Amino acid sequence: MRQTMKVAAVLSAASLALAACGSDTSTDGTATDDAAAKTSDVKVGLAYDVGGRGDQSFNDSAAKGLDKAKDEFGLETKEAAATAGENEAAQKERLQQLVDAGYTHIIAVGFAYAKSVGQVAKENPDVNFAIIDDASEDSAGDNVAQLTFAEEQGSFLVGAAAALKTKTDNIGFVGGVNVPLIHKFEAGFEAGAKAVNKDIKIQSKYLTEPPDFSGFADPAKGKTAAEGMLDKGADVIYHAAGGSGGGVFTAVAANKAMAIGVDSDQALTAEEGVRDVIITSMVKRLDTVVYDYLKASVEGEAPAGPQVFDLKSEGVAYATTGDKVADIADKLDAYKQQIIDGEITVPSE
pLDDT at 38: 54
- % pLDDT > 90, the chain: 78
pLDDT at 14: 34
Residues of 166-176 as b/e, b for ≥16 C-beta within 10 angstroms? Answer: beebbbbbbbb
> What is the band of 86 on the pLDDT scale with cuts at 50, 70, 90?
confident
Strands 316-318 and 278-284 turn out to be antiparallel
> What is the band of 301 on the pLDDT scale with cuts at 50, 70, 90?
confident
Mean pLDDT across 80-90: 79
Helix (H) or strand (E) holding 208: strand 201-208
Whether the predicted pLDDT of 26 surpasses 80? no
> What is the band of 303 on the pLDDT scale with cuts at 50, 70, 90?
confident
pLDDT in tens, 189-235: 999 999 999 999 999 999 999 989 899 999 999 999 999 999 999 99
The region that residue 85 occupies, defined by phi over 0 for left and psi between -120 and 50 for alpha, beta otherwise, is left
Task: Output the CA angle 333-336-338, nearest 5 degrees.
Answer: 115
pLDDT at 83: 77
Same fold, 15-150+286-309 and 151-283+316-340: yes
User: Quick one: fold of 151-283+316-340?
Assistant: Rossmann fold (3.40.50)
Dihedral in degrees, nearest 10, Cα atoms 4, 316, 212, 236: 170
Match domain 15-150+286-309 to its CATH number in 3.40.50.620, 3.90.1560.10, 3.30.420.40, 3.40.50.2300.
3.40.50.2300
pLDDT at 81: 79
pLDDT at 332: 98
Domain boundaries, the chain: 15-150+286-309, 151-283+316-340
Whether the predicted pLDDT of 17 surpasses 80? no
Mean pLDDT across 177-188: 97
Alpha carbon distances (Å) from 194 to 88, 184, 230, 318: 39, 15, 20, 18
pLDDT in tens, 89-144: 888 988 999 999 999 999 999 998 999 999 999 999 999 999 999 999 999 999 99
Between CA 347 and CA 206 the distance in angstroms is 19
Distance, first Cα to last Cα, the chain? 32
> What integer best gives the mean pLDDT of the chain?
89
- % pLDDT > 70, the chain: 89
